[in-house]
Structure 1
Amino acid sequence: MRKLTGVNEMAKNKPSQGARKTETLTLRLDPKVKLMIELMSRIRRQSITGVVEAAIEEIAFDLDAPFVSGGEAHPMSLGSAISEIWSTDESERFINLCHYLPSLITYEEQRLWETIKASKFFLTPGTGDMPTYWEIPGVGRIERYTLRRWWQNLLAHVEDNKESRTIVPFEPPF
């Protein structure tokens, strides 16, 4: 039996820890699988973490993901897709996930994405070739800086309105 714990199956930092280079993940494993991992780590002279990371990366490059590019979904290895969407900035990573792997977002992520799209506050008439916005078909241009600046407030707003039957657009508190 394997079970991942955490919000949206993603590891989270404790608020007092700030940004870290690694994340903590708690797993429940069948005792036989746990022994197997421990023995693999001894044979490879790696930490258990190293063994688990290597196994996940190997699987990710063998697993096809429905990557959207040019408005159409094409199979791409999950490992390659991660290379396209990864950013150390959470808001950037989130928008990339919604743009490139929209069929894989959770209900909670979809609520956040729909709130962003419905919030005129994040839209910009931006022109030019500078990558200061994301072009979202049918919505317009979402200003990167504004979204980053208000990201934590936006997350709190979506949480506060999670019971609403409709999307409540975000408005800054000024």
Structure 2
Amino acid sequence: MAKNKPSQGARKTETLTLRLDPKVKAMIEIISRIRRQSITGVVEAAIEEIAFDLDAPYFFDGKTLNSSLGVVFSEIWSSDESERFINLCHHLPSLMTYEEQRIWETIKSSRCFWENEASKILSDWSVEGLGCVDISNLRLWWSDLLDHVEAHKDSRTVVPFEPEF
């Protein structure tokens, strides 16, 4: 997941630095002239086109299906990083990185992130034996959770997160 610089907070756009073959860069520049678009617009349009042509292993209703990434992404996307993460864990679990798997395992082992009588906002899906993720608590402690996972990254076992009140 992309991270903003600490002093900048959430932004409407993200910066991406790429190394391109000079021939490809020149081609993008020509495409942008023909389409009267910015280079960014050309790259965004190309990525969206690829996404709708690419099949993704999408988990839904207890089954793994192949569906267009462009369609699946609408189920995953949220402007809230913690909710987007939970959606990724549920719908595209086979595409998670090791670091994402470690965060997810920490969430699963931490009782504070699961539904209880005080829960306000629950995820739309359930994990057997655990229930639904308490999204309000996940949002509240997201940064602390990430710091906790980073601090325990060398541990051979997952260390449950216990928030400090």
Shorter-chain TM range is over 0.9
Shift of 1:71: 1.2
Q: For residues 131 and 19 of structure 1, what CA distance do their matches in structure 2 show? A: 24
Equivalence for 2:35: 44
C-alpha distance after superposition, 1:74-110 (max 9, x if no partner): 0110011110111011110000000000001100000
Give the deviation of 1:58 after TM superposition. Answer: 0.2
C-alpha contact 1:125 1:141 (8 A) present in aligned 2: no
Determine the C-alpha separation between the residues in 1 that align with 2:43 and 2:11. Answer: 19
Q: Residue 131 of structure 2 is aligned with which of 105, 117, 140?
A: 140
Residue 106 of structure 2 aligns with which residue? 115
Aligned to 1:32: 23
- Kindly report the root-mean-square deviation, in angstroms, between the aligned alpha carbons of the 2 structures: 1.6
Kept in 1: contact 2:55–2:66 (CA 8 A): yes
Cα deviation digits, residues 133-169 of structure 1 (max 9, x gap): 1322232222111111000000000000000010000
Question: For 1:68, what is the secondary structure of its paired residue?
Answer: strand
Does 1:158 pair with 2:146? no
Unaligned runs of 5+ in 1: 1-9
> What residue in structure 1 maps to residue 92 of structure 2?
101
**Could you tell me the TM-score, scaled by structure 1's length?**
0.89
Runs (4+) of structure 1 exceeding 6 A deviation are none
Contact 2:120 2:136 survives alignment (8 Å): no
Deviation readout 1:20-68 (Å, 9 max, x if unpaired): 1100001011111111111111111100000000000000000000000
- Residue in 2 that maps onto 1:71: 62
* Gap runs ≥5 in structure 2: none
1:86 aligns with 2:77: yes
Distance 1:125 1:16 in 2: 35
Identical counterparts, % of pairs? 69
Aligned residues: 163
TM superposition shift of 1:12: 2.4
* Counterpart pick for 1:15 among 6, 10, 19: 6
